[in-house]
């Protein structure tokens, strides 16, 4: 009986993993340099140190798959990049977006251009063909910590690759400990000018809201934006570390007749999921009023080892997908069901290939895109350049949830 149960378990594990299609797999990422000379020059002067380039965030728009490479260390030649999905090969080079110049660090007294990207972790392509980029403005984060520019929201028109707007966050939006590694956009198709961006501050435990119509931002504080001291001791890919990351993953539920949604959120170092209606966030007066405290709700607990970086919501299935950092996988939860460990299940798990599922996105064709990148090894030990370290997968959502507790 026991052997049968183990066998059944193995089969279901394999089935879960087999559903994912591996689209990219790199030992180290390479870039589409203008010439071999340019590359050699960059290697020579230290502007390109291959091992220091960790792909982290992703996002698909039409034939482009955006891949961010934050400037954790020196030697990252370009932070915002894409790969063409027209005829991909598994080790494709990254192409700087919108171009090389915007991604090249200024030299000496040079001022960065308006469309320049110093360092970005995650991006969002919205329903209005715009790319929203949170530029932290800091290069060599773990080394010299070079502040090139102030944290800014940078918005591109994906049809023309032109800058739409660069909005520098206000003094009041920032704390000394601020760390902006995510950006989520709230917009209804056809109401592009009414967009809002929500930017979690995982280091300063707050949420910054930006109104595109008002060209204004404000900062919200709440106890639920903090980390859980019992959930910050993590072990991933054989590496044990302690993190204090607060609010991180934001997933927007369906819009009601007023265009308001439920925003589901969690701290990274936590296993609890919370929610708040976006009508609280979008109105500056209500958002910053301490009396709004009770408008933030506890959805429930996801269970042991369910620490999540990114999360995304699929409207058709009512399912939220959650990266599972400690479990080497991705989980789902159907929001029509109460949140408890039993109502959260893994749709993928792979202890070799899904080590640190860093980012997750849903594209217009309802494919889930997942990137795993062994980030703790990159940060604390160094990666082995002879192994595949970074992988990008996709899977159709209905395939992913078939037969699970998340299916309606």
Ligand X SMILES: *[C@@H]1O[C@H](CO)[C@@H](O)[C@H](O)[C@H]1NC(C)=O
- Using CB under 6 A as the criterion, which residues of the chain lie in contact with ligand X when the complex forms? 30, 89, 91-93, 165, 167, 215, 283, 285-286, 337-338, 340, 342-343
How far apart (Å, rounded) are the C-alpha atoms in residues 242 and 99?
37
Q: Compute the least distance from the CB of residue 183 to ligand X, in Å.
A: 17
How is the beta sheet containing 344-349 ordered, strand by strand?
A: 311-314, 319-324, 329-334, 344-349
How far apart (Å, rounded) are the C-alpha atoms in residues 402 and 395?
12
In the complex with ligand X, the residue whose CB is nearer, 159 or 340, is 340
CB-count exposure of residue 108 (10 Å: 0-12, 13-18, 19+)? exposed
Q: Compute the least distance from the CB of residue 152 to ligand X, in Å.
A: 10
Q: Compute the least distance from the CB of residue 379 to ligand X, in Å.
A: 26
Work out the end-to-end distance of the chain between its first and last CA atoms, rounded to an integer number of angstroms.
31
φ, ψ for residue 400, nearest 5 deg: -60, -35
Using DSSP, how many helices (H) and how many strands (E) does the chain show?
Answer: 7, 28
DSSP, residue by residue, 133-180: EEE--EESTTTT-EE-S--EEEEEETTTTEEEEEEEPPGGG--TT---
In sign, the C-alpha dihedral spanning 151, 156, 161, 162 is negative
Q: Compute the least distance from the CB of residue 144 to ligand X, in Å.
A: 29
In the complex with ligand X, the residue whose CB is nearer, 215 or 242, is 215
In the complex with ligand X, the residue whose CB is nearer, 70 or 300, is 300
In the complex with ligand X, the residue whose CB is nearer, 36 or 386, is 36
In the complex with ligand X, the residue whose CB is nearer, 194 or 337, is 337
The owner of tokens 């171009």 is: 99
Q: Compute the least distance from the CB of residue 209 to ligand X, in Å.
A: 12
In the complex with ligand X, the residue whose CB is nearer, 14 or 213, is 213
The owner of tokens 């990159």 is: 378
Say if CB 161 and CB 152 are below 8 A apart.
no
Q: Compute the least distance from the CB of residue 129 to ligand X, in Å.
A: 18
In the complex with ligand X, the residue whose CB is nearer, 244 or 345, is 345
Q: Compute the least distance from the CB of residue 345 to ligand X, in Å.
A: 11
């Amino acid at each position: 009986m026991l052997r049968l149960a183990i066998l059944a378990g193995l089969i279901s594990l394999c089935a879960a993993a087999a559903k994912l299609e591996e689209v990219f797999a790199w030992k180290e990422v390479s870039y589409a340099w203008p010439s071999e000379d340019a590359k050699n020059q960059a290697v020579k002067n230290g502007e390109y140190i291959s091992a220091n380039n960790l792909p982290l965030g992703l996002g698909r728009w039409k034939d482009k798959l955006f891949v961010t490479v934050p400037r954790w260390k020196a030697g990252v030649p370009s932070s915002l990049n894409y790969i063409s999905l027209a005829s991909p090969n598994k080790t494709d080079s990254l192409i700087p977006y919108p171009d090389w110049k915007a991604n090249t660090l200024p030299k000496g007294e040079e001022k960065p251009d308006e469309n320049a990207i110093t360092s970005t972790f995650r991006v969002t392509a919205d329903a209005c063909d715009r790319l929203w980029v949170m530029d932290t403005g800091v290069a060599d984060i773990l080394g010299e910590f070079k502040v090139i520019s102030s944290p800014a929201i940078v918005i591109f028109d994906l049809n023309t690759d032109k800058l739409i707007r660069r909005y520098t966050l206000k003094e009041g939006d920032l704390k000394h400990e601020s760390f902006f590694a995510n950006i989520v956009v709230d917009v209804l198709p056809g109401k592009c000018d009414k967009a809002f961006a929500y930017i979690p501050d995982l280091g300063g435990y707050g949420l910054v809201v930006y109104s595109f119509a008002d060209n204004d931002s404000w900062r919200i504080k709440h106890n639920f934006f903090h980390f859980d001291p019992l959930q910050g001791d993590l072990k991933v890919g054989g590496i044990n570390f302690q993190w204090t990351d607060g609010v991180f993953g934001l997933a927007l539920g369906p819009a009601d007749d007023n265009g308001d949604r439920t925003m589901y959120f969690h701290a990274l170092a936590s296993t609890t999921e919370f929610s708040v209606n976006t009508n609280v966030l979008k109105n500056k007066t209500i958002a910053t009023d301490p009396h709004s405290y009770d408008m933030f709700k506890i959805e429930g607990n996801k269970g042991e080892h369910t620490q999540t970086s990114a999360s995304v919501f699929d409207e058709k299935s009512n399912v939220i997908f959650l990266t599972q950092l400690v479990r080497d996988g991705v989980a789902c939860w159907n929001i029509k069901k109460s949140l408890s460990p039993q109502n959260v299940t893994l749709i993928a798990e792979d202890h070799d290939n899904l080590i640190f599922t860093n980012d997750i996105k849903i594209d217009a064709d309802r494919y889930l895109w997942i990137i795993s990148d062994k980030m703790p090894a990159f940060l604390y030990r160094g990666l082995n350049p002879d192994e595949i370290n970074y992988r990008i997968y996709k899977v159709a959502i209905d395939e992913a949830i078939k037969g699970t507790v998340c299916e309606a």
